Structure 1
């Protein structure tokens, strides 16, 4: 039975209707969640999942409002369902999992190291990483948007930012994939050290920076001073540097990889729009925004409810888990006319990078990498077609997208 059919069934004899069902750990639903999300928007705008005990908001107006409402919907216990439900202690330094005031101090610190000077230096390097990946494939009849490009271009870029040697990036990338991978139909087990395990792979590089500073983000973090809420200043602890660095590696890699994959898929499915881009690269930035709207790489944001709230005539109790489904909000026909149509000329603000204090710090970096990737791919191959028989989806706790996406050119 297809997910959309499972989401709504009817007993013909007794005429008993069953409401929509959404399970973020069901791979069939995750592969194509849009029919289920539409049922939520139409019939259960405040949805309650009894199996796991979470609530969900799916309409654009609700998600847009509550993403910015950090006073009620808190990130300090985690931003994925399984981490909040596990009760695992969140260590300091994971800015995604923090609330004010400490979030504001940490975000200010990270904003200070993502400087315009450093960002300006990244684009030519990202282009070089992309060319190195694609040039050996120019005479080939196929390539893989993920395996040959999307999985490595972001890692190379982040590796440059942090100062991680290329020979170590493969192991770090694979470790990230293993940490995030889910099992079908199951609430993921969350180990007590899962939130620090990524940083532990970076220990040798961080320790080296204490005595051998360089012009990279890792050195900036080692030397950074944090302003405490009482106004005092201190250096980051080694553990905080590890956590910060691991967060940048994980967040910066996965979402951009999935964005590049979705761009490859959607432009294969819409060849007329792909050919428009091939003849006019100035259309690429708007096309990337439409890819982000149509297929949000990080489509669900979990929050801990800090106090009782009234929504749609019901009380959501303090301590509840609320999912803010920005991927659904992006397809809400109340906000976007003909929302299920992919259109690179569409106008309107999507929610794929979040909103408010947790708006993605790496948004500009992700947009730049996706633009460069499309420019370099379209320069070589104005036409491609996805081999869906060989393509495989990824299923992780925080993002959705393609694990492999082979195309013929």
Structure 2
């Protein structure tokens, strides 16, 4: 009996549960894959994805980085960095670069650590808790809220609204009207901040001057500022929370490597890089094809939607030795989880910092934990894959027997 042709569907929950065997077949059998059911192409090999990420003229972001948005052909609000090409992208990105400088990012470490400690101390003494709801989701929310200037009392509500926009029903595509940044979430905050300036992103954007694509020097409009803030809030929350979640599940699966991290926290940064490779939260990036292009003998026609399977590139045998083995000692170079080229993730350094501190404090407060695989709840979309729920069990340390004097 012959083997059926390989099939990959980004909305198939059964495939999403463990997509790596399908990715392996795509690389071997159909590196330039076409899904005729949903009418899109997919690249799965590391070198092909690298070239596509660099060639923004052919593989455009102007229709969005999500398949559903590209297929719908919706109008993209200006200032939505993830959905722009140069020169507009470069102009708008330059306004945010100042917020994510290495010095400014590192200056946040004491505040991030305080947030992590406060969250974990609430859990002290518990035998069970959900890492996602009690910790992983909270840390990025607090950090982004601090950067944006959103009052702490309102940060949870802002995150809940952003999460609701990104959720999909099992096997269903994302609702396009929810995938476009919703600026109304932040309107009241930007109006208040205009009257009460502070050291935060909102205040900086209110006063930033730049030269637009028409060569006119001006400040941002209110609507442009709201779009910026919506993009930063959405991108910063979801992916970092999922990264912390993957570390939690992987280190339960490989307790001997977790023990190494407890014994030597200097290994933590590389463990994070290996997690970004092994289980990337953003597992695919979509693009719009602007002109006919030939890849490996297949012509992809102009007007096509294509997705770049970064998670597959991260397991490409041609790039990585033993790619399906999780190894916190692996030599890491040229990781593509944060993108490559023009759209390299602006918040990559912040995500790494948040995750490092979160893992340092998690291992300090809870050196061991267990995860029952049957209790996990996955939350995949066409672009993001991570845990919705990740219940932890904290083993009790047996107390020493007491000796009764005779």
- Deviation per CA, 1:99-127: give whole Å up to 9, x if none: 00100101111102324453233111111
Pick from 373, 377, 393 the counterpart of residue 362 of structure 2. Answer: 377
Q: Cα gap change, 1:407/1:381 in structure 2, threshold over 3 Å: closer, same or farther?
A: same
Answer yes or no: is 1:211 the counterpart of 2:202.
no
Match for 1:266 among 232, 236, 250?
250
Aligned to 1:224: 208
1:173 aligns with 2:123: no
Deviation at 1:138, TM superposition (A): 1.7
Aligned-partner Cα distance in 2 for 1:408–1:246: 35
Runs of 4+ in 1 over 6 A off after TM superposition: none
How far did residue 136 of structure 1 move?
1.8
Matches of 2:100 and 2:81 in 1, distance apart? 14
Q: 1:2-401 maps to which residues of 2 (within 5 A)?
A: 12=1, 15=2, 17-191=3-177, 194-197=179-182, 199-348=183-332, 349-401=334-386
Give the whole-Å Cα distance in 1 for the aligned partners of 2:4 and 2:386. 29
Task: Pick which of 17-26 and 33-42 moved more.
Answer: 17-26
- SS of 1:65 mapped into structure 2: helix
Cα shift at 1:232 = 2.5
Distance 1:396 1:320 in 2: 20
Q: CA deviation at 1:194?
A: 4.6
Could you say what secondary structure the match of 1:129 adopts?
Answer: helix
Q: TM-score, normalised by structure 2?
A: 0.94
Which secondary structure does the structure 2 equivalent of 1:137 belong to? coil
What is the Cα deviation at residue 312 of structure 1?
1.5
Cα 1:312–1:397 shift into 2, 3 Å: closer
Find the aligned partners of 1:398 and 1:20 in 2 and give their Cα distance.
Answer: 20
Q: Distance between the aligned counterparts of 2:28 and 2:188, measured in 1?
A: 52
Q: Gaps spanning 5+ residues in structure 1: where?
A: 1-11
C-alpha deviation, 1:314, in angstroms: 1.6
Partners of 1:110 and 1:93 lie apart in 2 by 11
After TM superposition, give the deviation of residue 71 of structure 1 in Å.
1.2
Tell me the SS of whatever aligns to 2:375: coil
| Number of aligned residue pairs | 393
d(CA) in 1 for partners of 2:25, 2:62: 30
What residue ranges of structure 2 are gaps of 5+ in the alignment?
A: 395-406
CA contact (8 A) 1:180 1:397 kept: no
1:250 is displaced (CA, Å) by 0.3
Aligned counterparts of 1:248 and 1:259: Cα–Cα separation in 2:
17
Please say which of residues 109-118 and 150-159 is displaced more in the overlay: 109-118
* Contact 1:180–1:398 (8 Å) recurs in 2: no
1:385 counterpart SS class: coil
What is the aligned-residue RMSD (CA, Å)?
1.3
Q: Give the structure 1 partner of residue 401 of structure 2.
A: none
Per-residue CA shift, 1:270-300, capped at 9, x if unaligned?
1111000001111000000000000010010
Query: Normalised by the size of structure 1, how large is the TM-score?
Result: 0.93
Give the Cα separation in 2 of the matches to 1:30 and 1:298.
13
| Cα shift at 1:381 | 1.7
- What is the SS of the residue equivalent to 1:400? coil
Deviation by residue 1:186-209 (Cα, 9 ceiling, x = unmatched): 333312x75242x21111110112
SS at structure 2 position matched to 1:143: strand
Maintained 8 Å contact 1:182/1:397: no
- In 1, the alpha carbon distance for the partners of 2:39 and 2:181 equals 27
1:397, distance to aligned residue in structure 2 (A): 4.4
Q: For 1:132-182, what per-residue CA distance to the aligned partner results, in whole angstroms no more than 9, with x for missing partners?
A: 110021211123221111111000000000111111111111111111111
Cα deviation code 1:236-284 (max 9, x no counterpart): 0111101100000000000000000000011111111100000111100
Q: Distance in 2 between matches of 1:41 and 1:57?
A: 8
Helix, strand or coil at the partner of 2:98: helix
Note closer, same or farther for the CA distance 1:141–1:115 as it changes in structure 2 (3 Å cut): same
Post-superposition offset of 1:183? 2.0
